[in-house]
Amino acid sequence: MKAIVMNSAGGCETLEYVERPDPVAGPGQAFVEVAVAGVNFLDTGVRQGTLGTDVPNPKILGVEGMGRVLAVGEGVEGVAPGQRVAWVSAPGSYAERIAIPAMSW
């Protein structure tokens, strides 16, 4: 899958469009095809190095979005493949696909 990652703190030049392996939905997670990723001040803070410093680089930016569930991990209830979902506070939304906690929406 394609994703936008940052390799170091700085301006827009730190962003790179790369190929990454698809994530896998673990227990309590949903595997989602991202249709739309939110872009907001939090993403700018992460890119500038003032927020999200607990996650090592390179990291996929974005914490909110919307898309369609492709699969669910063990123990997930209330959401099923094919459903459309929207989420907040799930890092990694600047990608074609994401595995996120099923309680993020």
Angle at 22 between CA 36 and CA 54, to 5 degrees: 75
CB 28 within 8 A of CB 76: yes
98 in Cβ contact with 64 (< 8 Å): no
This model's pTM is above 0.95? no
Query: What's the pLDDT tens digit per position in 11-39?
Result: 989 999 999 999 999 999 999 999 999 99
32-68 confidence digits (pLDDT tens): 999 999 998 889 999 999 998 888 999 999 999 999 9
